[in-house]
């Protein structure tokens, strides 16, 4: 008798697990395939609830509170990590007592850089310890900035370094943001002198005074990422002058300019250096 019950309990537990997994998959399918419809309906539900005075089903109201807490938490996570996730597609590929494999497909943004990644996370229970490791990693990303990341991206994929990828993406995007903000600042401050031929998110800024049409100073602000994920900016100056002017350049200012530019950078920082360059052509 006892054995019969024990068997039944075990069978029931297994059935519940399968059923729960099925329910989860179905709930996930609704939110991923009908995201917009779902959002619209949820909005009307919450509006309706606000209008009605407290006559809400207890289960519904509990769910609503849970959702609003989770939404709050999502905003907080986004704010603190700088990574904004817009979509998460989670699939359980394998599940047993000791091993779980889950596949993640994530879409999101880090500042203005959008990314899409796919990875599989394997969890193996070994006694008291749980071993967690990434077993498959793919990065699907586009956007002009990512061309500087190419080498790093392939090495990160190869070594399955999902976590390193996000850490590097964060510091890389911060550097990009700094560059864009600086370029925009100078473009707004000196609209006649400063040009951004490839837009404010590219690495080039050209300084050219309307009074000196032949002379240009181009700033190349590259952000390099090593294979191990170290992000470093590299800023160079390129001078261009008409030949006639070059003949007058007896102290070879043009030649020594890039070197002087580097000394200025280390002494005063990027903004003050660019400011002084612009000042030098605005009489």
Partner 1 sequence: MDNPRQKGVFDHLMMLERKEAAILQRHQNERLEELRTTAATLRAKKDRIRVETSAIKNLKAQMDKGLPLDDDETAHFVKLEPYLLMSRRMQLRDLQTAHRLIAGYDLFESKQGKSVCVSFHTAFEGVCLETYNMEMDLNRMVQISRHNIPPCIPLEKLAKENLQTDFKGFLQTLDLHLNALAGRKQQITLVKELVGTVEIIEKNQLCNFLALVCKAPADTDEDVLCTLEYGDLTRCLPTHVAIDGENKTLIASPQWKEHQVLLMETPVHSALLTMRKLGSIS
Q: Name which of residues 134 to 153 contact partner 1 (CB under 8 A).
A: 134-135, 137
- Name which position in 116, 141, 159, 224 contacts partner 1 (CB under 8 A): 159
Q: How far is the CB of 39 from partner 1 (least distance, A)?
A: 8
Residues in the chain: 283
Residue nearer to partner 1 on the CB measure, 62 or 189: 62
Q: Which of residues 165-224 bind partner 1 (CB under 8 A)?
A: 166-167, 170-171
Helix, strand, coil percent values for the chain (each to nearest 5)? 55, 25, 20
Supply the DSSP string of 171-222, one letter for each residue: HHHHHHHHHHHHHHHHHHH-TTTEE-TT-TTSSEEEE--TT-TT-EEEEEEE
Helix (H) or strand (E) holding 7: helix 2-33
Determine if 24 is a binding residue for partner 1 (CB under 8 A): yes
Residues from 4 through 23 that contact partner 1 (CB under 8 A): 5-6, 8-9, 12-13, 15-16, 19-20, 22-23
- Sites for partner 1 among residues 216-255 (CB under 8 A): 227-228, 230
Q: Which three-class secondary structure state does DSSP give residue 118?
A: strand
| Residues in contact with 271: Cβ distance below 8 Å, sequence separation at least 6, in sequence order | 182, 185
CA distance 198 to 121: 40
Residue 42-61 contact track with partner 1, rule CB under 8 A, x = bound: x-xx--x--------x-xx-
Write out the binding residues for partner 1, residues 62-121 only, by CB under 8 A: 63-64, 66-67, 70-71, 73-74, 76-78, 80-83, 85, 88, 90, 104, 106, 121
């Amino acid at each position: 008798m006892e054995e019969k019950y024990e068997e039944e309990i075990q069978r029931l537990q297994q059935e519940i697990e399968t059923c729960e997994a099925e329910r989860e998959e179905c709930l996930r399918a609704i939110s991923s395939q009908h995201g917009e419809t779902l959002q619209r309906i949820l909005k009307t539900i919450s509006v309706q609830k606000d209008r009605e005075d407290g006559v809400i089903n207890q289960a519904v109201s509990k769910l609503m509170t849970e959702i609003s807490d989770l939404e709050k938490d999502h905003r907080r996570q986004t704010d603190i990590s700088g990574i904004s996730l817009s979509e998460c597609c989670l699939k359980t590929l394998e599940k047993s007592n000791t091993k779980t494999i889950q596949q993640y497909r994530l879409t999101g943004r880090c500042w203005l850089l959008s990314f899409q990644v796919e990875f599989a996370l394997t969890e193996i229970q070994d006694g008291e310890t749980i071993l967690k490791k990434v077993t498959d990693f793919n990065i699907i990303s586009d956007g002009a900035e990512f061309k500087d990341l190419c080498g790093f991206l392939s090495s990160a994929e190869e070594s399955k370094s999902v976590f390193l990828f996000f850490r590097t993406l964060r510091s890389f995007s911060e550097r990009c943001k700094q560059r864009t903000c600086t370029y925009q600042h100078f473009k707004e401050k000196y609209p006649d002198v400063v040009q951004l031929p490839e837009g404010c998110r590219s690495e080039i800024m050209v300084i050219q005074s309307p009074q000196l049409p032949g002379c240009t100073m181009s700033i190349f602000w590259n952000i390099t990422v090593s294979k191990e994920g170290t992000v470093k900016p590299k800023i160079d100056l390129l001078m261009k002058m008409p030949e006639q002017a070059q003949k007058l350049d007896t102290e070879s200012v043009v030649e020594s300019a890039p070197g002087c530019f580097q000394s200025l950078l280390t002494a005063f920082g990027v903004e003050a250096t660019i400011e002084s360059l612009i000042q030098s052509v605005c009489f």
